[in-house]
Amino acid sequence: MKETITSADNAPKAVGPYSLAVCHGNLVFTAGQLGLDAQSGLLVEGGIHAQTEKALENLSVVLKAAGSDISQVLKTTVFLKNMDDFAAMNEVYARFFEENAPARSAVQVAALPKGGLVEIEAVAFIE
């Protein structure tokens, strides 16, 4: 099997030398998504709630471009600038994964690109 690189015109552009998603077999591995506006490339205003929502919306766009969707996510990793934001992030996250929530890790990091508060990556199934 050969991997397929995925791009999405309506998702924020990569902020470095990496692909938004790579598909291999029936799996898609996404790059981390920040709470960036796709047009401006800037972080959305509104703190952790707004950035989490936008990051998950961006993740959804990338997954769709790869032939999957948010309901097919098997595992996510959430990177938080501040673990004190965990409850607020979790509140938004729960709206996107109401049933059959995927496995998840959440870790605090020293910093995120562009000064982001949250970054979320995923592994999903392609039907």
Q: Per-residue pLDDT tens for 52-108?
A: 999 999 999 999 999 999 999 999 999 999 999 999 999 999 999 998 999 999 999
Q: Per-residue pLDDT tens for 15-53?
A: 889 999 999 999 999 999 999 999 999 999 999 999 999
pLDDT for 1 beyond 70:
no
Rounded Cα–Cα distance for residues 5 and 14 (Å): 13
Report all structural domains of the chain as residue ranges with CATH numbers, in order of start: 4-125 (3.30.1330.40)
Whether pTM > 0.85 for this model: the answer is yes
Rounded Cα–Cα distance for residues 51 and 35 (Å): 4
What percent of the chain is modeled with pLDDT above 70?
A: 99
Q: What is the pLDDT of residue 6?
A: 83
Write phi, then psi, for 112 (nearest 5 degrees). -125, 155
Q: What is the pLDDT of residue 106?
A: 98
Which one, of 1, 4, 10, lies nearest residue 22 by Cα? Answer: 4
- pLDDT category at 116 given cuts 50, 70, 90 is very high
120/3: higher pLDDT: 120
Q: What is the pLDDT of residue 87?
A: 98
Q: Which token pair is 63?
A: 């997954």
